Amino acid sequence: MRLATWNVNSIRTRVDRVTDWLARADVDVLAMQETKCSDEQFPTMPFAALGYDVVHCGFNQWNGVAIASRIGIDDVAVGFDGQPTWSDKPDVEAAAEARALGATCGGVRVWSLYIPNGRTVDSAHYVYKLQWLAALRETAASWLADDPSAPIALVGDWNIAPTDDDVWDVEFYRGSTHITEAERAAFGAIVDAGFSDVVRPFTPGPAVFTYWDYTQLRFPKNRGMRIDFILGSPTLAERVTHAEIVRAERKGKQPSDHAPVLVDLVDP
């Protein structure tokens, strides 16, 4: 099974790039973030033409998460238990944020996650980001407590660079979100709950990034961040035989500002 995640930064703008890569890379399951469209607007047909079923959660031009699978999609869940909402309206469900979508594909429980950005460290959105991560940690830990052998993949754009090596210049980001102690601790808490970074062992070293801003020639200068991850439960981690960050997909015409990240899993 080949599982991938990709912040596509508008699926309607980049559907041809995404489906072309799916075919070339022989991906079985793709989790997408920042689709930036409603369910009705999602371009399902190009995926269907390649044999993929798609589930999507999106409401407007912000956020949006999806899963495309050619090996089945079962037990779809929009949002996870305890997921906070940014809205100040008590009757608005967390699902309206369109940040978390779960489905079982080929026996693996896949969660496509778009963690809140946080904006600035003095913003209420930063507090919300930490609350969101804490809720995810609590709920994900409960999944493993209920079934320690469950193959679970928490994948997506985490909007956190867990180590100094995961940014091109830590001093450049000093005082900004993505590298604060609290954010890194929140990411570490999910790892401590039993979900390991299954890509890093195959992509070691500093300056190995998944995101590059469009401005100031950041990509050709490799001034990026590593913020897209696949975290696997113990059972899933044991099945990983290969992983990579597909940097070449950040090149070319109208790319996303993120590169896809993929893992290969052996059959259980």
Task: Please give the annotated binding residues for Mg(2+), written as ranges.
Answer: 7, 34, 157, 159, 257-258
At residue 57, what is the residue type? Answer: C
Q: How far apart are CA 53 and CA 79, in angstroms?
A: 19
Q: Which of 52, 114, 126, 211 is catalytic?
A: 114
Q: Which of 28, 157, 197, 228 is catalytic?
A: 157
Q: How far apart are CA 268 and CA 265, in angstroms?
A: 9
Q: Which of 126, 211, 228, 258 is catalytic?
A: 258
**At 123, is the secondary structure helix, strand, or coil?**
coil
Q: Nearest Cα to 98, choosing from 59, 143, 151? A: 59
Q: Are 92 and 86 in contact, with CB atoms under 8 Å apart? A: no
- Known catalytic residue at 258: yes
- Known catalytic residue at 16: no
Q: Nearest Cα to 33, choosing from 89, 111, 95, 107? A: 111
At residue 253, what is the residue type? Answer: K
CA distances from 204 to 79, 198, 245 (A): 32, 11, 11
Q: What angle do CA 113, 117, 118 make, to 5 degrees?
A: 130
- Known catalytic residue at 157: yes
Binding site feature residues: 7, 34, 157, 159, 257-258
Q: Are 157 and 100 in contact, with CB atoms under 8 Å apart? A: no
Q: Are 231 and 112 in contact, with CB atoms under 8 Å apart? A: no
DSSP 217: T
List, as one string, the DSSP characters of 79-101.
S-TT---S-S-TT--GGGG--EE
- Catalytic amino acids? 114, 157, 258
